[in-house]
């Protein structure tokens, strides 16, 4: 199978949107590590109109790429490659990128006057830090934005182990579902599934991004990943997606408007029952219809190689790993100077992308130098 340039384009665009979304968290109504003194409902709309589908789309693309690679490589070899590709930056990020985020939170929101070096020392030695109220707390920042790497590795490991034990399962699933998800059913069946997951699992298991008990998120993201896997190598799915792109776009835009009317600002607590149920139903519909519209239009509009997209497709994982720490340190510098406001949103976003681009180029040149001297390729 030839390379899917449309998936490369969508992957790059989705990761770039993710970076913009994370910058917006400092300016909307949600709790976050660092908050601007002023906020705007415009930034609430960024959350409302991207959060329901953005990560599901990324997991679907990851599943599609994994499904394609399984036709070329043994499951064990693919699992080993993904382990190096995903767990290495995860572990490095947990060690070096989470402490600066904790440092920003302690100084900006926690009321603690502590240096970055001291935060690193407390973090790696598991030594508690005393808060202003006298309470001692361990500096455990969780995985923060790096959770995606851990979740994707788990889903890939499950898939490749299954493919090793039961090689015919995935091809059989793909054939059977292809008969079910024809034409309009590519829009209807997954939409009903995601609406059902939101109505049943989300109230019982709210998203935590704790890998051990995040059952709602696992249901959504693993389902998205599996959709990508079974769709990967069969043209019937993509033909159906292309044919339904216009109805999907119309439904997605309608759901976006309804959600904006239901939630003109992000709720501070749990919304009323009718609003919550309506939001979940429209959110699930919005989620899958947006994905189908994006994939359908990308399939017909972006089917040739582009040098910029090819470059960014190689770089975007580095951008993803670095971006949240970079943006928080930049924003904290503005915060200390009293310059952080909604007007700093665009400068912080641009500066974050610029720093990530510089870091990727440094990484790339180190890899070239390493290979020139006979070293193995860096991840």
Cα(182)–Cα(237) distance, rounded to whole angstroms?
Answer: 7
- Pull the structure tokens for residue 48: 């409302």
Residue 81 domain flag: yes
- Total number of domains in the chain: 1
**pLDDT, position 271:** 84
How many Cβ atoms sit within 10 Å of the Cβ of residue 108? 18
Q: 64-98: per-residue pLDDT in tens?
A: 999 999 999 999 999 999 999 999 999 999 999 99
Q: CB-based burial of residue 23 (10 Å sphere; 0-12 exposed, 13-18 middle, 19+ buried)?
A: buried
**pLDDT, position 379:** 37
Cα(327)–Cα(303) distance, rounded to whole angstroms?
Answer: 33
Cα(159)–Cα(155) distance, rounded to whole angstroms?
Answer: 6
Residue 349 domain flag: no
Tell me which residue of 92, 67, 66, 94 sits closest to 81, measured CA to CA: 66
Residue 93 domain flag: yes
**pLDDT, position 30:** 87
Tell me which residue of 52, 112, 59, 121 sits closest to 86, measured CA to CA: 59
Residue 147 domain flag: yes
Which parts of the chain sit beneath pLDDT 50? Answer: 376-379
Contact 289, 295 (CB under 8 A): no
Residue 331 domain flag: no
Residue 377 domain flag: no
Predicted TM-score of the model (pTM): 0.95
Q: Which domain holds residue 121?
A: 5-11+41-306
Cα(162)–Cα(168) distance, rounded to whole angstroms?
Answer: 10
Residue 358 domain flag: no
**pLDDT, position 1:** 59
**pLDDT, position 375:** 54
Residue 105 domain flag: yes
Tell me which residue of 88, 82, 85, 135 sits closest to 110, measured CA to CA: 135
**pLDDT, position 374:** 58
**pLDDT, position 366:** 85
Question: Nearest 5°: phi and psi at 224?
Answer: -60, -45
**pLDDT, position 369:** 66
């Amino acid at each position: 199978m030839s390379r899917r340039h449309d998936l490369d384009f969508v992957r790059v665009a989705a990761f770039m949107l993710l970076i913009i979304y994370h910058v917006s968290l400092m300016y909307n109504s949600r709790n976050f590590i660092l908050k601007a003194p002023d906020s705007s409902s415009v930034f609430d709309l960024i959350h409302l109109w991207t959060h329901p589908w953005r990560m599901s789309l990324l997991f679907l693309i990851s599943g599609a790429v994994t499904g394609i690679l399984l036709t070329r490589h043994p499951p064990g070899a693919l699992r080993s490659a993904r382990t190096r590709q995903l767990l290495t930056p995860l572990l490095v990020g947990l060690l070096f990128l989470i402490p600066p985020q904790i440092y920003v939170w302690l100084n900006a929101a926690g009321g603690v006057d502590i240096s970055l070096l001291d935060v690193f020392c407390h973090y790696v030695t598991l030594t508690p830090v005393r808060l202003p109220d006298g309470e001692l707390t361990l500096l455990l920042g969780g995985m923060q934005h790096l959770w995606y790497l851990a979740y994707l590795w788990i889903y890939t490991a499950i898939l490749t182990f299954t493919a090793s034990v039961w090689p015919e399962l995935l091809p059989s699933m793909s054939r059977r579902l292809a008969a079910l998800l024809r034409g309009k059913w590519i829009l209807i069946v997954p939409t009903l599934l995601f609406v059902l997951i939101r109505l049943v699992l989300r109230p019982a298991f709210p998203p935590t991004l704790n890998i051990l008990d995040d059952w709602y998120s696992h249901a959504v993201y693993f389902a998205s990943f599996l959709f990508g896997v079974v769709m990967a190598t069969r043209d019937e799915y993509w033909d159906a997606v292309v044919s339904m792109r216009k109805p999907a776009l119309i439904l997605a835009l309608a759901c976006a408007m309804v959600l904006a009317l239901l939630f003109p600002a992000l709720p501070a607590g749990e919304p009323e029952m009718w609003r919550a149920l309506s939001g979940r139903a429209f959110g699930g519909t919005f989620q899958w219809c947006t994905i189908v519209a994006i994939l359908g239009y990308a399939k017909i509009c972006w089917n040739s190689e582009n040098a910029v997209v090819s470059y960014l497709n190689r770089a975007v994982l580095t951008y993803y790993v670095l971006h949240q720490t970079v943006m928080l340190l930049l924003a904290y510098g503005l915060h200390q100077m009293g310059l952080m406001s909604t007007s700093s949103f665009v400068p912080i976003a641009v500066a974050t992308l610029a720093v990530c681009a510089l870091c990727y180029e440094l990484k790339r040149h180190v890899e070239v130098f390493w290979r020139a001297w006979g070293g193995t390729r860096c991840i």
